[in-house]
Structure 1
Amino acid sequence: MSLLTTTALFVLTAIAEIVGCYLPYLWLKDKAPAWVLLPAVLALLAFVWLLSLHPTASGRVYAAYGGVYVTTAIAWLWLVDGIRPSGWDIAGVALCLAGMGVIMVGAAQR
């Protein structure tokens, strides 16, 4: 699987997870009707399925996926919630992606 394909899969997985958690949050905060729980369940099912498509051992996938998840969550904060990321947010994303890179390079060395 190419780096581009793997990255796209990580991003899609993160979006599915975030949507699956965000919609119930909106419902719990009385900002959305109960029917949003159905697409939330579907998003979480998609999340689990997408995670199963990742090409390497699950523990390493979860660790590397975490870097993309954090990046996607900060992008969501900006694009959906309308909150511009701070310098601290950007620094945290950079650290997470650097950690993910170390994990993936290490996996490629095996």
Structure 2
Amino acid sequence: MALLKSLSVFILAGLCEIGGGYLVWQWLKADKPLWYGIIGGIILALYGVVATWQIADFGRVYAAYGGIFIIMALVWAWKVDGFHPDKWDIIGALVAIIGACIIIYMPRK
């Protein structure tokens, strides 16, 4: 159950960070209205709160989140922006997620 909760929190945090960052990006780079940036900033702040719901300590959570973020960012870009990951994107993401899982989920004393 702890693994499921942890993965759920990683996904929710990732959606907050990528979604908030995307809205700020759209405001500054794609000439969207100011409210995109404001909402994006609020969602990014929410990410900071959601990440605290994780089961491990700060250092491990943020280190592992990097690997999960890579996969989520590629999926976001693919589904939202029409970016098509190539085999090297996929291989790199798999290496990162394996490393992230080792960091966060391996048993410790």
Using the size of structure 1 for normalisation, the TM-score is: 0.91
Secondary structure of the corresponding residue to residue 80 of structure 1? helix
Tell me the matched-pair count: 109
Following TM superposition, the consecutive aligned residue runs of length 4 or more in structure 1 with deviations greater than 6 angstroms are none
Q: Give 1:109's aligned residue.
A: 108
Contact 2:23 2:40 in 1 (8 A): yes
Q: Percent identity of the aligned residues?
A: 35
**Once the 2 structures are TM-superposed, how far is the Cα of residue 105 of structure 1 from its aligned partner?**
3.8
Q: Give 1:88's aligned residue.
A: 88
Q: Give 1:30's aligned residue.
A: 30
Q: CA RMSD in A?
A: 1.3
- Cα deviation code 1:40-99 (max 9, x no counterpart): 122112100001111111000101111111110000010111112111110011000110
Q: Give 2:14's aligned residue.
A: 14
Secondary structure of the corresponding residue to residue 109 of structure 1? coil
Query: Which sections of structure 2, spanning at least 5 residues, go unmatched?
Result: none
What amino acid maps onto 1:38 in structure 2? I
- Cα deviation code 1:3-60 (max 9, x no counterpart): 1121111011011011121111111123411111121122112100001111111000
Using the size of structure 2 for normalisation, the TM-score is: 0.91
Query: Which sections of structure 1, spanning at least 5 residues, go unmatched?
Result: none
- Residues of 1 paired with 2:3 and 2:51: CA distance? 16
The verdict on how the C-alpha distance between 1:105 and 1:19 changes in structure 2, with shifts beyond 3 A counting, is closer
